[in-house]
Amino acid sequence: MLTEIEYQLVNHYQHEMPMSPTPFADIAEQLDIDEAKVISVLKSLTERGIVSRVGPVFQHKKVGASTLVAMSIPENKLQTVADIVSSYAEVNHNYERDDDINLWFVVVAPTQQNIQQVLADIEKQTGFPVINLPMEQDFHIDLGFAL
Amino acid sequence: MTQNDIDHYIMASLQEGLPICSRPYAALARELKLTEQQIVDRIQWLKDNDYIRRYGIIVRHKELGFHANAMVVWDIADDQVTNIGNQLALQSSVTLCYQRPRRLPEWRYNLFSMIHGHDRQEVLNKIETIEQELNLTDVPHKPLFSQRRFKQRGGRFIYVPEMEKQTINYA
């Protein structure tokens, strides 16, 4: 599914990118290929949806606020409610899960207050209550996703 | 602009990802009237001071062939949750692990761990391994497998003023 170069990129650069003004040239040097190749492969991975983006994962406790939210939605209303939820810029990772509480999403915003506003608005727009499950402790996993 | 404003601007600009090009910091440097190296140095500082937990290629699991993911939720005694959380985080199959509040009566689970696999059975096998290794078989827990994925993208949580007007429309 992945070419050798794609595999190398995805497996080695999830956690540490070269910190220089020319990170893709540095990666190219490390992998002994052309910079143009690194760039074209990354663009292709992005277009195919395998790479979501290249950049930072923020520590949400220090940068802004975030929470996990759960809702229990009747099956015949799930798509409609999910679409409303997904329409918020603050919402990501919106999933159906196989449980009575079947809609799960993450809300990120600059402040707790913004989050409360978004949640109140979602309740109003959908007519269903939310269960707000903010992180209380992060058991740190340092690695990216190992292939 | 204060240093804080500059950091804020840098983080807001990076949240949707770097442009994939030869000089990905050039435009940002121009906007802030800094050198590219100064931008990189600030990002390094943000990493060193824990504002950025990792910096690199961010993948989507499903597109990589990991079609199954379960959020395994556990009901752990309050005085044990830190200990068990730390042990779960060390398991190679666990990619995220958080303590969250119970919301009784509808939600009793206080520890959340994410486990990915190529298929459902692989995830179940990984869970069984964890149950045995950490002696958690008798602790109330269940896997919530993902079904439909409605949205997956980096959330925009740092607003620059212009962006705020476009994206926030609180009723």
Same domain, B13 and B41: yes
Contact A135 B100 (CB under 8 A): yes
pLDDT-based confidence at residue B164 (cuts at 50, 70, 90): very low
Evaluate whether residue B160 is within a structural domain: no
Q: What is the mean pLDDT of chain B?
A: 88
Evaluate whether residue A11 is within a structural domain: yes
What's the gap in Å between the CA of A131 and the closest CA on chain B? Answer: 8
Nearest to A119 by CA among A77, A90, A76, A99: A90
CA angle B96, B101, B102 (to 5 degrees): 115
Amino acid letter, B123: V
Check which CATH number belongs to the domain holding A105 and give it: 3.30.70.3460
Instruction: Provide ipTM, 2 decimals.
Output: 0.80
Domain that holds residue A95: 65-133
Is the distance from CB of B168 to CB of A74 less than 8 angstroms?
no
> Looking at residues A82-96, what average pLDDT do you find?
94
Evaluate whether residue B106 is within a structural domain: yes
Of A51, A72, A141, the CB nearest to B58: A51
> Looking at residues B79-101, what average pLDDT do you find?
94
Same domain, B76 and B93: yes
Same domain, A32 and A76: no
Evaluate whether residue B70 is within a structural domain: yes
Contact A121 B171 (CB under 8 A): yes
What's the gap in Å between the CA of B103 and the closest CA on chain A? Answer: 8
Same domain, B45 and B94: no
Domain that holds residue B49: 3-57
Same domain, B77 and B120: yes
Check which CATH number belongs to the domain holding B71 and give it: 3.30.70.3460
Same domain, B10 and B33: yes
Evaluate whether residue B100 is within a structural domain: yes
Collapsing DSSP states into helix, strand and coil, what is residue A93? strand
Evaluate whether residue A128 is within a structural domain: yes
For residues B101 and B110, what is the distance between their CA atoms, to the nearest angstrom?
A: 5
- What's the number of domains chain B is made of? 2
Contact B106 A63 (CB under 8 A): no
For residues B42 and B28, what is the distance between their CA atoms, to the nearest angstrom?
A: 12
Evaluate whether residue A98 is within a structural domain: yes
Tell me the per-residue pLDDT of B20-68, one tens digit each, with 9 for 90 and over: 999 999 999 999 999 999 999 999 999 999 899 889 999 888 888 888 9
Q: In this structure, what are the phi and psi dihedrals at residue A126, rounded to the nearest 5 degrees?
A: -95, -25
Same domain, B73 and B117: yes
Q: Taking 80 as the threshold, does the pLDDT of residue A22 lie above it?
A: yes
Q: Which B residues in the span 45-84 are in contact with A, Cβ-Cβ below 8 Å? A: 46-47, 50-61, 63-66, 71, 81-82
Same domain, B104 and B43: no
Contact A97 B71 (CB under 8 A): yes
DSSP B79: G
Q: Which of B11, B57, B168 to mutate to test the interface with A (most CBs of A within 10 A)?
A: B57
